């Protein structure tokens, strides 16, 4: 068996991770190689050729095949070392499995059941007056000097033909020989282009005022034609819009059915715990004590979701998808929705036998191999290099990266009058909770809620906005539990409100512990990048060792391999 050595050690690892096996019946496919019981087909090479060439563009046939062989060797070694049952691998697979099963439910219950008829398309076309939707054709003259624009405007006013002037004067070589014609434009284009926005509303024959683009050039634009789009040209777009709307409605109704069938309910005591902690949330992540994370939060037929699982749901969601941590409705809805997606829908899929679908099982096998190979690399290569000593050294040398600034936490309530504010202040001083008191008052808008939690850093001089700065100025003089205000705030458009604030607590600046899981994750990523050259070299050396150990179980069918591609050798 011929050996080769790639110039980039990184290529091997990247290529192994990006491979996609075809899933084609190997009995019916042309087998190009075997590694133990695993078969690699020509279809596998064809499906992954483009990705492999991105990492190694000059590779020949044998070198394109090698990553497939390497991945099977790494998989076999990972299994031999029992990494298929490693907790990290199992957690990764369980997360992927649940996501795949939830997506399968969506496919079966929504995608396969939602159709759009010709009648629905026509109805939408008529209801939204799309039968009157038109596009606008325009010609332009591009000039670079204001004086040239003035002269062109005078010549147009004198009756000279716009198209002839465009051929003579325009500095846009792409359109000047066409009389300045820029083609047809629609209203949607005006949302993306200031050029189109400048003329889209004009009548045929009208000339827009000279427009200066971002590069300093001047446009004279004339509308030359209007024409209706018609149903045929809009049909595909309408179908997508109607289909998307129907899918959204179908999915919402289906989830409501499953929520009722599985009897999802929220534990009110746990919800209150989460909301109270939410007053001190950073990045919308409430700080929940470890001993409270095992408390049941969501009940459903067949299981429970505890507070710790809820925190994981938050952590795996983007910031803008997380609920406001003191909004009881938002928190409960998020917890219910994610519990449906991650807990209930996988049960639905299994009840229907969809977990046995070949697409899902095949995908999970691929992800299992990938997870095992990554775990093998971590255990055999990265951990011996990124020792605790190395990571601790990084931590000690980058203390500012792990600094949590000092903070003051406070809550605020908005009402419409000074009398209402005075009443709230008195009730708070009597011991009532602001979150409870403010339920009696309406919210102003999504932007100006009647109750919210805030925090700021006393050591920072950065402004948080005029209105919030007013509140902070009052809070600075308060002790924990004390109430301040009312503070008059101008919300604009003639709306003035009264703000009441209550200081909750303050926390000093501190350096996060080396043992903090998030600190460890950051350090691991940073040191892995710093030591990437050593890691790649060590991995390549380890792979060469495995290639020799597994050489006897690798068979390459060169006569079949020669039929792959042309001119590769």
- 321-336 pLDDT, tens digit per residue, is 999 999 999 999 999 9
pLDDT at 7: 41
Maximum alpha-carbon separation in the chain: 91
Whole-angstrom distance, CA of residue 425 vs CA of residue 413: 10
When pLDDT is cut at 50, 70 and 90, the band that residue 441 belongs to is confident
Radius of gyration of the chain (CA): 33
How many angstroms separate the first and last alpha carbons of the chain? 17
Vertex 83 angle, CA 77 and 84, to 5°:
100
Q: Which secondary-structure segment (H or E) carries 413?
A: strand 407-415
Which residues 6+ apart lie within 8 Å of 323 measured at CB? 284, 330, 331, 333, 334
pLDDT at 20: 55
Whole-angstrom distance, CA of residue 262 vs CA of residue 265: 9
pLDDT at 539: 94
- Pick the closest to residue 199 from 161, 162, 248 (CA basis): 162
Contact (Cβ atoms closer than 8 angstroms) between residue 77 and residue 369: no
pLDDT digit string, tens, across residues 128-160: 999 999 999 999 999 999 999 999 999 999 999
Vertex 447 angle, CA 445 and 452, to 5°:
95
Q: Exposed e or buried b for every residue in 478-496, given b needs 16+ CB within 10 A?
A: beeeebbbbbebeeeeeee
Residue 5 pLDDT more than 50?
no
Residue 340 pLDDT more than 60?
yes
Q: Residues of the chain with pLDDT > 70: what percent? A: 90
pLDDT digit string, tens, across residues 531-561: 999 999 999 999 999 999 999 999 999 888 8
Whole-angstrom distance, CA of residue 250 vs CA of residue 114: 8
Which residues 6+ apart lie within 8 Å of 246 measured at CB? 114, 116
In this prediction, residues 116-120 reach a mean pLDDT of 96
Vertex 454 angle, CA 453 and 460, to 5°:
170
Contact (Cβ atoms closer than 8 angstroms) between residue 538 and residue 470: no
Residue 83 pLDDT more than 90?
yes
Residue 196 pLDDT more than 70?
yes
pLDDT at 46: 81
pLDDT at 470: 86
pLDDT at 6: 41
Q: Residues of the chain with pLDDT > 90: what percent? A: 70
In this prediction, residues 48-55 reach a mean pLDDT of 63
Contact (Cβ atoms closer than 8 angstroms) between residue 465 and residue 512: no
In this prediction, residues 312-317 reach a mean pLDDT of 94
In this prediction, residues 107-134 reach a mean pLDDT of 95
**DSSP string for 107-174:** IIIIITT----HHHHHHHHHHTTGGG-EEEEEEEEEES-HHHHHHHHHHHHTT--HHHHHHHH---HH
- Pairing verdict, β 451-456 and 407-415: antiparallel
pLDDT digit string, tens, across residues 30-39: 898 999 998 9
Residue 24 pLDDT more than 60?
no
Better pLDDT: 407 or 465: 407
Whole-angstrom distance, CA of residue 8 vs CA of residue 523: 25
Whole-angstrom distance, CA of residue 543 vs CA of residue 222: 67
Mean pLDDT for all residues in the chain: 89
Residue 365 pLDDT more than 90?
yes
Q: Which secondary-structure segment (H or E) carries 511?
A: strand 510-511
Residue 10 pLDDT more than 80?
no
Tell me which residue has tokens 């990494």: 83
Tell me which residue has tokens 């066409």: 178
pLDDT digit string, tens, across residues 413-434: 988 889 999 999 999 999 999 9
In this prediction, residues 306-323 reach a mean pLDDT of 94
pLDDT at 466: 65
pLDDT at 459: 86
In this prediction, residues 337-346 reach a mean pLDDT of 95
pLDDT at 540: 93
pLDDT at 1: 38
Whole-angstrom distance, CA of residue 130 vs CA of residue 124: 8
Q: Which secondary-structure segment (H or E) carries 63?
A: helix 61-80
Which residues 6+ apart lie within 8 Å of 393 measured at CB? none
pLDDT digit string, tens, across residues 201-257: 999 999 999 988 888 889 999 999 999 999 999 999 999 999 999 999 999 999 999
Contact (Cβ atoms closer than 8 angstroms) between residue 304 and residue 296: yes
């Amino acid at each position: 068996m011929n050996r080769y050595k790639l110039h980039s050690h990184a290529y091997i690892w990247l290529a192994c991770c990006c491979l996609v096996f075809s899933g084609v019946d190997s009995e019916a496919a042309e087998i190009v190689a075997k590694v133990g019981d695993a078969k690699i087909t020509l279809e596998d090479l064809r499906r992954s050729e483009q990705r492999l060439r991105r990492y190694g563009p000059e590779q020949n046939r044998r070198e394109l095949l090698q990553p497939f062989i390497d991945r099977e060797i790494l998989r076999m070694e990972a299994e031999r070392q029992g990494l298929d049952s490693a907790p990290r691998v199992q957690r990764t697979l369980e997360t992927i499995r649940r996501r795949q099963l939830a997506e399968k439910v969506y496919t079966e219950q929504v995608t396969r059941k939602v159709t759009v008829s010709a009648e629905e398309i026509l109805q939408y076309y008529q209801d939204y007056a799309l039968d009157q939707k038109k596009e606008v054709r325009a010609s332009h003259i591009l000039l670079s000097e204001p004086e040239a624009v003035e002269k062109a405007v005078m010549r147009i006013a004198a009756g000279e033909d716009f198209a002839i002037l465009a051929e003579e004067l325009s500095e846009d070589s792409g359109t000047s020989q066409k009389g300045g014609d820029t083609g047809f434009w629609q209203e949607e284009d005006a949302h993306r282009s200031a050029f189109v926005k400048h003329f889209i509303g004009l009548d045929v024959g009208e000339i827009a005022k000279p427009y200066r683009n971002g590069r300093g050039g001047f446009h004279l634009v004339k509308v030359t034609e209007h024409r209706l789009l018609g149903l045929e040209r809009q049909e595909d777009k309408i179908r997508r819009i109607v289909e998307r709307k129907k899918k959204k409605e179908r999915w919402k109704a289906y989830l409501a059915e499953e929520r009722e069938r599985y009897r999802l309910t929220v534990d009110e005591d746990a919800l209150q715990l989460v909301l109270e902690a939410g007053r001190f949330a950073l990045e919308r992540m409430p700080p929940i004590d470890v001993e409270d994370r095992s408390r049941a939060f969501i009940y459903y037929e067949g299981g429970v979701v505890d507070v710790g699982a809820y925190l994981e749901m938050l952590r795996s969601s983007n910031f803008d998808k997380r609920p406001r941590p003191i909004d009881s409705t938002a928190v409960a809805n998020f917890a219910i929705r994610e519990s449906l997606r991650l807990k209930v829908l996988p049960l639905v899929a299994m009840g229907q036998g969809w977990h046995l679908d070949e697409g899902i099982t095949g995908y999970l096998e691929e992800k299992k191999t990938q997870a095992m190979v990554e775990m093998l690399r971590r255990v055999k290569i990265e951990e011996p290099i990124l020792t605790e000593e190395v990571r601790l050294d990084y931590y000690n040398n980058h203390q500012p990266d792990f600094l949590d600034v000092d903070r003051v936490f406070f809550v605020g309530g908005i009402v419409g009058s000074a009398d209402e504010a005075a009443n709230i202040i008195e009730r708070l001083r009597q011991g009532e909770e602001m979150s409870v008191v403010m339920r009696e008052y309406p919210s102003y808008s999504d932007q100006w809620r009647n109750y919210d939690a805030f925090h700021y850093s006393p050591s920072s001089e950065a402004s948080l906005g005029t209105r919030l700065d007013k509140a902070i100025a009052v809070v600075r003089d308060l002790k924990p539990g004390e109430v301040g205000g009312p503070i008059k705030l101008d919300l604009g458009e003639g709306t003035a409100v009264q703000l009441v604030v209550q200081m909750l607590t303050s926390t000093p600046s501190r350096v996060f512990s080396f043992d903090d899981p998030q600190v460890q994750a950051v350090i691991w990523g940073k040191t892995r990048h710093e030591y990437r050259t050593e890691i790649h070299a060590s991995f390549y050396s380890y792979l060469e060792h495995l290639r020799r150990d597994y050489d006897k179980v690798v068979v390459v069918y060169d006569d079949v391999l020669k039929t792959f591609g042309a001119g590769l050798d």
